[in-house]
Amino acid sequence: MTLTSEQTTAGQFWSDAERHLVRYGGPFTPEIIERAAGSFVYTADGRPILDFTSGQMSAILGHCHPAIVATVQRQVASLDHLFSGMLSRPVVDLARRLAESLPAPLDKVLLLTTGAESNEAAIRMAKLVTGKHEIVAFARSWHGMTGAAAAATYSAGHQGYGPTAPGNFAIPTPNPYRPDFTTADGAFDWQRQLDHGFAMIDAQSSGSLAACIVEPILSSGGVIEPPPGYFAALAAKCRERGMLLIVDEAQTGLCRTGDWYAFQRDGIVPDILTLSKTLGAGLPLAAVVTSAEIEQRAHERGYLFYTTHVSDPLVAAVGNTVLDVLQSEQLEVRARELGAFLRNGLLQLQQRHEVVGDVRGRGLMQGLELVVDRKTKQGADALGAQVTRRCLELGLHLNVVQLAGMGGTFRIAPPLTATRDELALGLEILDQALGDTTKAA
C-alpha cells in the first residue's frame, strides 16, 4: 500500500514525538492539533473537536479570541519584555484593576507566569512574614510541580523524588460524595472531620505553622467542592494558630464558577490569593494578591522573588484584555446561566446511565464521576478511559482525572464563551459515548 504525503507526514510526526519528547504525565492525545478557534480545536485532517477543557482549563474566552489576538499583535510590536526591575503601564494597570475587583484588603499584586510559580511565591511570602515554615494542604490537592508547590501537592507526585522540605502536612479532603466522618443519619460531618484534621496537625507541628493553602474546588483531586461553611471554619482554624490562609484560584478565579472569585460564596477573604490559568486566558500569566500590611512586612524582611518574566508587559496587556471582556460581556452571569444548563444536562445523564455516580461542581466547572456500582461507589478508572476515547472518536475532548483512583471523574470546563448549542452537542456526544461504552462492556 502506498502512503499519501499527509499519512507520511503524520507518521513522521509521531515518530519524532516518540523519539524526542519527554513524557511528563498521562498519554498524549492521539491527534495532531493544527489550529483552534472558539470552543473547538481542529486536527491536521480538519476534524473539529469540541474542547470541554478550555485547553488546560485556561482558555476561558475560547481559543484565539479576537480581542486577545489583537492585543498580542499590537503589544508584541511595541513592548514585549523588560528588565525585571522596570515597570510598564500594562503591569500597573492590571495590578490596579485586579485590586479593584477584589474585597479589601487585597490590594497588592505580583505578576508572574504560572500557577506553580504564583503558589511558590505565596508560600515563600507566608513563611517570611510569619517567621514560620510549616504548610498545610488538602490530601488531594494540586498546587504545582515546583519545590514548595509540589510539597503541598498530595494528589500525585510525591513518590520517587526524595524528601520534601520539613513541615508539610495534609488534612483530609472534605468530599461530600465519599464522607469519612458522618452524623447519626449518615450525612457528611465536615466539622468533625476538620476538627480531627487539625488535631492531627497540632500533634505533628513543631509550633511553626505558617499557612494553609487550599483550592475552593479541588479540580485535579476530582472536582471536589467542600460544603458551604467549611472554608469559614477553616479560616477560623488558621486565625487561632496564627497561620495565613492562601487560596489558590488557578482554575476557579475570574468568573468560571459564576462569581468573580469562588471564595466569595463562603464569605471569607484570604490573606493571600493566587491566580493563574484563567487570568491569561491561555497565555502564561499568574498573580499573587495580598494586603498592604502583609506586603509591607514581607518587604521589610527582604522578600525576594526576582524572576525573568516577573511584571512582563506583553502578558499583562493580555490580562487587561481578559478583564475587559469579562466585564463587558458579564461573563460571571453567563457562567451561572450556562452552568445551570450544563449541570441539568449532566443530571439527566445520571438518570439515564447507571454508571454515573455523582454530578458536582459550580458554574462552568462541573465534575461527573463514574462508578462500577452506585451503592458501593467503587471507582471506574478503566471505564473512564474508555469513555474518554469514545468521546474523542465522536468529536469531544473531555479530561478524565488521570490519577490513580480518580480516573472515572471527568473535569468539564468549557470556555465561558461557549454557546448553549455547543454545550448541548457536548452532552449529546457524552451521552452516546456512555451508551456505546457500557453496551460494549
Is residue 330 among the annotated active site residues?
Answer: no
CA separation for the pair 17, 29 (Å, rounded) = 12
Query: Cα 409–412–414 angle (5° rounding)?
Result: 165
Main-chain phi, psi angles of 241, to 5 degrees: -105, 5
Where along the chain do the CATH 3.40.640.10 domains lie?
A: 79-328
Specify whether the CB–CB gap between 322 and 280 falls below 8 A: yes
Note the residue count of the chain: 441
Mind listing the pLDDT tens digit for each residue in 35-78?
999 999 999 999 999 999 999 999 999 999 999 999 999 999 99
Catalytic residue among 75, 251, 366, 386: 251
Residue 435 clears pLDDT 50, i.e. is over it:
yes
* Per-residue model confidence (pLDDT) at position 345: 98
CA separation for the pair 110, 140 (Å, rounded) = 27
Is residue 366 among the annotated active site residues?
Answer: no
Identify which of 47, 145, 10 has the alpha carbon closest to the alpha carbon of residue 18: 10
Strand 272-275, strand 286-291: pairing: antiparallel
**C-alpha torsion sign, points 116, 122, 126, 127:** positive
Specify whether the CB–CB gap between 211 and 243 falls below 8 A: yes
* Per-residue model confidence (pLDDT) at position 1: 46
Is residue 215 among the annotated active site residues?
Answer: yes
Least confident of 146-150, 357-361, 380-384: 380-384
Average pLDDT value for residue range 198-211 = 98
Catalytic residue among 117, 134, 248, 422: 248
Mind listing the pLDDT tens digit for each residue in 224-241?
999 999 999 999 999 999
Catalytic residue among 215, 249, 369, 381: 215
Mind listing the pLDDT tens digit for each residue in 69-94?
999 999 999 999 999 999 999 999 99
Residue 406: pLDDT band (50, 70, 90) is low
Residue 2 clears pLDDT 90, i.e. is over it:
no
CA separation for the pair 151, 167 (Å, rounded) = 9
CA separation for the pair 186, 175 (Å, rounded) = 14
Check whether domain 79-328 has CATH 1.10.10.10, yes or no: no
Catalytic residue among 117, 132, 142, 295: 142
The edge-to-edge listing of strands for the beta sheet with 168-171 is: 106-112, 286-291, 272-275, 244-248, 209-214, 134-138, 168-171
% residues pLDDT > 90 (the chain): 93
Residue 403: pLDDT band (50, 70, 90) is low
CA separation for the pair 376, 361 (Å, rounded) = 22
* Per-residue model confidence (pLDDT) at position 8: 66
Query: Cα 423–426–430 angle (5° rounding)?
Result: 140
Residue 19 clears pLDDT 60, i.e. is over it:
yes
Average pLDDT value for residue range 173-185 = 96
Catalytic residue among 256, 362, 390, 411: 411
Catalytic residue among 277, 334, 343, 360: 277
Where along the chain do the CATH 3.90.1150.10 domains lie?
A: 36-66+331-440
Mind listing the pLDDT tens digit for each residue in 115-170?
999 999 999 999 999 999 999 999 999 999 999 999 999 998 889 999 999 999 99
Average pLDDT in the chain: 95
Residue 6: pLDDT band (50, 70, 90) is low
Residue 311 clears pLDDT 90, i.e. is over it:
yes
- Secondary structure in 3-state letters for the chain: CCCCHHHHHHHHHHHHHHHHCCCCCCCCCCCCEEEEEECEEEECCCCEEEECCHHHHCCCCCECCHHHHHHHHHHHCCCCCCCCCCCCHHHHHHHHHHHHCCCCCEEEEEEECCHHHHHHHHHHHHHHHHCCCEEEEECCCCCCCCHHHHHCCCCCCCCCCCCCCCCEEEECCCCCCCCCCECCCCCECHHHHHHHHHHHHHHHCCCCEEEEEECCCECCCCCECCCCCHHHHHHHHHHHCCCEEEEECCCCCCCCCCCCCHHHHHCCCCCEEEECHHHHCCCCCEEEEEEHHHHHHHHHCCCCCCCCCCCCHHHHHHHHHHHHHHHHCCHHHHHHHHHHHHHHHHHHHHHHCCCEEEEEEECCEEEEEEEEECCCCEECHHHHHHHHHHHHHHCEECEECCCCCCCCEEEECCCCCCCHHHHHHHHHHHHHHHHHHHHHC
Topology (CATH level 3) of domain 36-66+331-440: Aspartate Aminotransferase, domain 1 (3.90.1150)
Beta bridge partners of 410: 368, 400
Residue 25: pLDDT band (50, 70, 90) is confident
